[in-house]
């Protein structure tokens, strides 16, 4: 069973499109639920309506990888929002969903590709995080059939 541990949205980009510049400071907000709009993304997020057929309408990250990162890099205070992914899940191998359609709480997603880590992970997490996260960076998805996604009680 897939559990939704956290849901995050942000009104602006801190890293995306900022190569060669410093990170921006747009807040990332944890929300109890979010509207997933087919073909557009998560209402209220920076990528909502970004462009037609965009591969990252919703991004997922595994809570199990988050916990491993905190141990590996000795950063126990690291927040799950540090990765700038929208949905933190538990109980599923996200890489197994690449190329697959799956339903979560009535919303249909299509797993498109790994959400590859970028050089910003060195700043957001710790030195060495970008390489360590390769193959574990999360999942980029399109929203095929919309609805509301809610954080599960933890």
- 24 Cβ contact list (under 8 Å, min separation 6): 12, 13, 14, 15, 18
Structural tokens at position 8: 């995050």
pLDDT at 23 over 60: no
Q: Cβ of 59: how many Cβ atoms within 10 Å?
A: 23
Q: Which of 83, 16, 87 is nearest to 58 (CA)?
A: 87
Phi, psi of 62 (to 5 degrees): -85, 130
pLDDT at 6 over 60: yes
Is the Cα torsion angle 46, 120, 122, 20 positive or negative in sign? negative
The SS3 assignment for 56 reads coil
Where along the chain do its domains lie?
3-150
pLDDT digit string, tens, across residues 105-139: 999 999 999 998 877 788 888 999 999 999 999 99
Tell me which CATH code domain 3-150 carries.
Answer: 2.40.33.20
**What's the alpha-carbon Rg for the chain, to the nearest Å?**
14
For the chain, give the percent of residues with pLDDT over 70. 89
Degrees (nearest 5) of the Cα angle 41, 6, 66? 110
């Amino acid at each position: 069973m897939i559990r939704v541990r956290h849901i995050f949205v942000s009104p602006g980009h801190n890293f995306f499109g900022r190569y060669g510049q410093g990170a921006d400071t747009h807040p990332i907000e944890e929300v109890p639920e979010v509207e997933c709009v087919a073909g557009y993304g998560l209402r209220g997020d920076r990528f909502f309506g970004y462009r037609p057929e965009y591969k990252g309408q919703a991004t997922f990250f595994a809570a199990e990888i988050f916990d491993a990162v905190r141990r590996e890099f000795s950063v126990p205070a690291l927040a799950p929002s540090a990765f700038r992914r929208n949905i933190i899940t538990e109980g599923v191998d996200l890489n197994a969903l690449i190329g697959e359609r799956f339903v979560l709480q009535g919303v249909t997603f299509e797993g498109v590709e790994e959400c590859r880590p970028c050089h910003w992970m060195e700043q957001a997490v710790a030195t060495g995080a970008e390489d360590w996260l390769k193959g574990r960076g999360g999942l980029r998805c399109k929203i095929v059939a919309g609805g509301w996604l809610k954080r599960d009680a933890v």
